[in-house]
């Protein structure tokens, strides 16, 4: 098994040290969110209006738009061996497959990772592989807000440490916390004052849900499984999805559906949800799905209502867990917690999250959105000359394509990295994943 996993992960990571991998069958993966930005569609509509006498020009403009959409991300070129993947994860949908695992290992390969923080432990799939790839690691910190994930990750990490007999394993201090990543600074302070002062060498945020959460009907995350309308990542939190649906003011319900679900049918859904209160309200995911099915045009078929339901569930989940505000604040806190030269990698699973990650990185760098196809923007070049920062070091890493450099750091992914076609085929849940990485100066 060790050989099999090493083959899978290290095909293009020649820098990986010889590793022992454990049985990774416990890995599960996550996130079915599929919200698409409406901007391109709107642009196409506008183009259609202004070109209504000239069909050929509309076609050209549409294809240009498609091209620019395609360019907005970099598809991973990392090879994934199908046979090995199937041996590890098979067709079992309950297994959490860590998304972009090889790519995440690449992000940290060139660093001496003495300390590492995983903000979203889940089943500790990413963490286990990173710990193995970095025998130099001395302090490991992992957080999850979900007690079930926290417990599972703890036992997984224990077995990784126990099974691996590489020399420094005994020196590795593992700290796990049942905490929200918005508390990252206080958590690091609890571990070691020195860690907070000197900073962490590597940080990972793998957002969204784990497959354990989606597959457990009682958590209420799944469109396809009947359960209570709960959707709390932290079961001790007070707000549940049913509270929003049954007692929030109508316009607040509409705002959630529109802003967090990007659902065009939000107004009609809002009215139906409020009307359902007259008959006792909504208390199960099946009741909510029925309501959505009844308000979705029959002509759109099963795919139509499933897409709407996915957007509605996403919206409620974001509101219940206050995900977007938490993310925005936490990215800055994580960047501030990095050591000099340290890297923060964030995997997001829907456009709202990705926009926040992208903007948070730009805000940290104190620059506005930079567009165009240059490898490095003008300001970056000027700073490089002035400060004699050697960008060539990062460019030697094959996964780094375009960067944005500023005084306080470098965005190593001007365009987000998305899974290879092979990964998307083998793990459909990876489809919407986007990886962005920032390095502190
Ligand atoms: C996609 S899973 C992580 C999977 C993990 N990388 C692996 O390889 O197994 C996301 C995890 O983040 C946790 N999570 C979500 N929001 C969180 C937050 N604000 N603070 C801490 N954990 C959070 C979820 O409970 C879930 O277990």
CA distance 414 to 417: 9
Q: Is residue 413 part of a domain?
A: yes
| pLDDT at site 10 | 40
Mean of the per-residue pLDDT values for the chain?
A: 81
Same domain, 155 and 294: no
| pLDDT at site 299 | 65
Same domain, 309 and 387: no
Residues in contact with ligand 1 by the CB-under-6-Å rule are: 27, 30, 96, 98, 119-120, 122-126, 143-146, 149, 180-181, 206, 208, 210, 233, 326
CA distance 314 to 114: 36
CA distance 345 to 413: 10
Same domain, 155 and 287: no
* Residue 69 scores a pLDDT above 90: no
What letter does residue 259 receive in the DSSP assignment? I
Structure confidence by residue, pLDDT tens digits, 93-111: 667 899 999 999 999 999 9
Last residue of a domain, one of 321, 356, 374: 321
Q: Is residue 46 part of a domain?
A: no
CA distance 154 to 174: 9
CATH code of the domain containing 315: 1.10.150.170
Same domain, 93 and 146: yes
For range 165-169, the mean pLDDT: 54
CA distance 111 to 118: 16
| pLDDT at site 88 | 77
Domain count, the chain: 2
Measured over the CA atoms of residue 358, residue 359, residue 362 and residue 364, the dihedral's sign is negative
279 Cα to the center of ligand 1, angstroms: 36
210 Cα to the center of ligand 1, angstroms: 7
- How many other C-beta atoms lie within 10 A of the C-beta of residue 165? 9
Same domain, 18 and 166: yes
**Protein residue whose Cα sits closest to atom 18 of ligand 1:** 180
Structure confidence by residue, pLDDT tens digits, 225-241: 999 999 999 999 999 99
Q: Is residue 264 part of a domain?
A: yes
Q: Is residue 78 part of a domain?
A: no
Last residue of a domain, one of 289, 321, 353: 321
Mutate to test the pocket of ligand 1, among 121, 123, 147 (most ligand atoms within 8 A of CB): 121
Same domain, 201 and 126: yes
Same domain, 122 and 6: yes
Same domain, 313 and 367: no
**Protein residue whose Cα sits closest to atom 8 of ligand 1:** 125
CA distance 279 to 381: 64
132 half-sphere exposure, CB direction, 13 A CA radius = 30
pTM over 0.85: no
Question: Which atom of ligand 1 is found nearest the CA of 182?
Answer: 19
Q: Is residue 36 part of a domain?
A: no
146 Cα to the center of ligand 1, angstroms: 8
CA distance 51 to 57: 7
Structure confidence by residue, pLDDT tens digits, 251-262: 999 999 999 999
CA distance 399 to 392: 13
Q: 13-35 in b/e burial notation, b at 16+ Cβ within 10 A?
A: beebeebebbebebbbbbbbbeb
180: Cα separation from own chain's centroid: 15
* Residue 43 scores a pLDDT above 50: no
Q: Is residue 99 part of a domain?
A: yes
Q: Is residue 43 part of a domain?
A: no
Q: Is residue 177 part of a domain?
A: yes
What letter does residue 284 receive in the DSSP assignment? B
For range 338-354, the mean pLDDT: 97
Q: How far is CA 439 from CA 1, 107, 154, 387, 433, in A?
A: 34, 10, 28, 16, 20
Same domain, 365 and 427: yes
CATH code of the domain containing 21: 3.40.50.150
Q: Are 311 and 258 in contact (CB under 8 A)?
A: no
* Residue 6 scores a pLDDT above 70: no
298 Cα to the center of ligand 1, angstroms: 36
Same domain, 7 and 122: yes
Structure confidence by residue, pLDDT tens digits, 269-321: 999 999 999 999 999 999 999 999 998 776 666 677 899 999 999 999 999 99
- Mean pLDDT lowest for which of 31-35, 285-289, 351-355, 395-399? 31-35
Same domain, 289 and 348: no
Q: Are 153 and 131 in contact (CB under 8 A)?
A: no
* Residue 374 scores a pLDDT above 80: no
Same domain, 125 and 14: yes
229: domain range?
220-321
């Amino acid at each position: 098994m060790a050989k099999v996993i090493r083959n899978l992960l290290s095909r293009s990571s020649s820098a990986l040290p010889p590793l022992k991998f454990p049985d990774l069958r416990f890995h599960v993966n996550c996130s079915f969110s599929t919200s698409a930005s409406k901007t391109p569609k709107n642009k196409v509509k506008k183009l259609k209006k202004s070109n209504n006498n000239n069909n050929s020009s509309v076609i050209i403009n549409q294809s240009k738009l498609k091209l620019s959409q395609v360019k907005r991300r970099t598809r991973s070129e990392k090879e994934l061996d199908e046979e090995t993947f199937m041996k590890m994860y098979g067709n079992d949908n309950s297994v959490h497959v860590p998304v972009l695992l090889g790519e995440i290992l690449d992000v940290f390969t060139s660093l001496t990772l003495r300390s590492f923080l995983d903000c979203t432990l889940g089943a500790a799939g990413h963490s286990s592989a990173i710990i193995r790839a970095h025998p130099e690691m001395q302090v490991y910190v992992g957080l999850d807000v979900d007690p079930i994930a926290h417990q599972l990750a703890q036992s997984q990490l224990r077995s990784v440490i126990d099974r691996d007999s590489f020399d420094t394993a005994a020196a590795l201090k593992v700290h796990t916390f049942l905490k929200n990543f918005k508390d990252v600074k206080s958590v690091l302070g609890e571990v070691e004052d020195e860690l907070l002062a000197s900073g962490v060498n590597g940080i990972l945020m793998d957002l969204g849900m784990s497959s354990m959460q989606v597959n457990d009907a009682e958590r209420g995350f799944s469109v396809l499984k009947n359960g209570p309308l709960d959707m709390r990542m932290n079961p001790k939190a007070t707000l549940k999805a049913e509270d929003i649906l049954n007692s929030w003011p109508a316009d607040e319900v509409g705002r959630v559906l529109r802003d967090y679900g990007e659902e065009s049918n939000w107004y009609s859904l809002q009215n139906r949800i409020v009307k359902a209160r007259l008959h006792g309200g909504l208390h199960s995911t099946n009741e909510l799905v029925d309501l959505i099915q009844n308000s979705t045009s029959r002509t759109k078929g099963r795919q139509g209502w499933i897409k709407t339901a996915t957007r509605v569930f996403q919206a409620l989940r974001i509101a219940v867990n206050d995900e977007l505000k938490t993310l925005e604040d936490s990215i800055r806190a994580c960047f501030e917690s990095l050591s000099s030269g340290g890297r923060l990698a964030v995997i997001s699973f829907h456009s709202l999250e990705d926009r926040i990650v992208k903007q948070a990185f730009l805000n940290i760098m104190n620059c506005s959105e930079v567009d165009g196809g240059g490898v490095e923007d003008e300001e970056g070049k000027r700073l490089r000359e002035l400060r004699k920062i050697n960008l060539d070091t990062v460019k030697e890493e094959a996964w780094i394509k375009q960067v944005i450099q500023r005084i306080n750091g470098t965005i190593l992914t001007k365009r987000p990295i998305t899974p290879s076609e092979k990964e998307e085929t083998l793990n459909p849940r990876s489809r919407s994943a986007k990886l962005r990485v920032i390095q502190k100066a």
